[in-house]
Amino acid sequence: MKRVIRFLGKILLWFFILSIGFTVLYRFVPVYITPLMVIRMVEQSMDEKRAVKLDKKWMPIGEISRHMPQAVVASEDQKFLEHHGFDMDAIHEALDENQSGKRIRGGSTISNQTAKNVFLWPGRNYVRKGLEAYFTLLIELIWSKERIMEVYLNVIEVGDGIYGVEAAAQEFYKKPASKLSRQEAAMIAGILPSPLRWNPVKPTAYNYKRQSWILRNMNNLNPVGFGK
């Protein structure tokens, strides 16, 4: 029993060392690959009708249109600059809606999504949610808000095999992310909840409605202050 405890203790110690080490490293180094990207490529390779695709171009936050951070904050996490990784009001609202029998929703922040995308696999079990909370605390402690936003905008899934807003801007609008307009940024932000289902250049009526909602929120929020 003592050997088992010592073995588990060593595993836990190495987990903390590696997780903190990679978090510190990613404060300075671009994140070129994530677990989700690997999973998607495996899924593509198993489907004979799909080619394996990984379209990703890292772009510093200073070379991304200022409209893009404003759009994702307006769409995904309006208290991003205020909270420390967890929006408790959004979490309580989500719990109330879920308990009342309405559609299942979460209270996920941009920090939560960044932690999940960089370090974890997709899923909804309690182990993964616990790890997501742990990595959220780590990046909030070690990274700046600007760095969290920079990583988020570079690793988010924006289409089949397309990751990050630079690749999305090139793929959908034939321009660099630095040149995205308010309308284009709002449309990209609007498809993020279902990037494999929606396409920003082939929007549905719902996509247009969501884009309008995001544009209104962008006007009502204070400038995020990141981007070109």
226 lies in a domain?
no
pLDDT-derived band at 105 (thresholds 50, 70, 90) equals very low
Q: How confident is the prediction for the chain on average, in pLDDT?
A: 92
Whole-number Å distance between alpha carbons of 72 and 195? 14
228 lies in a domain?
no
Is residue 158 within 8 A of residue 168, CB to CB? The reply is yes
- 53-104, pLDDT tens digit by residue? 999 999 999 999 999 999 999 999 999 999 998 887 766 666 656 555 555 4
Query: Cβ contacts of residue 188 below 8 Å, gap of 6+?
Result: 68, 71, 158, 165, 168, 169, 172, 180, 200
128 lies in a domain?
yes
State residue 90's pLDDT score.
67
- 130-152, pLDDT tens digit by residue? 999 999 999 999 999 999 999 99
Query: Cβ contacts of residue 127 below 8 Å, gap of 6+?
Result: none
Residue (of 128, 87, 88) closest to 111 by Cα position? 87
pLDDT-derived band at 50 (thresholds 50, 70, 90) equals confident
User: Higher model confidence: residue 123 or residue 144?
Assistant: 144
Look up the CATH number of the domain holding residue 28. 1.10.3810.10
Tally the domains of the chain: 1
Is residue 85 within 8 A of residue 112, CB to CB? The reply is yes
95 lies in a domain?
yes
State residue 23's pLDDT score.
97
Q: State mean pLDDT over 149-165.
A: 97
- The H or E element containing residue 76 is helix 67-76
CA dist 85 to 80, 88, 180, 226, Å? 8, 9, 27, 18
225 lies in a domain?
no
Kindly report which listed range (98-112, 129-143, 178-192) carries the lowest average pLDDT score.
98-112
Is residue 14 within 8 A of residue 111, CB to CB? The reply is no
CA dist 30 to 57, 115, 147, 174, 186, Å? 10, 14, 10, 23, 25
Residue 147 sits at φ, ψ, to 5 deg, of -70, -40
Q: What is the percent of the chain where pLDDT is above 70?
A: 92
40 lies in a domain?
yes
227 lies in a domain?
no
- 203-227, pLDDT tens digit by residue? 999 999 999 999 999 999 999 999 9
- The H or E element containing residue 153 is helix 145-155
In terms of Cβ atoms closer than 10 Å to its own Cβ (0-12, 13-18, 19+), residue 57 is: middle
Range of the domain at 134: 2-220
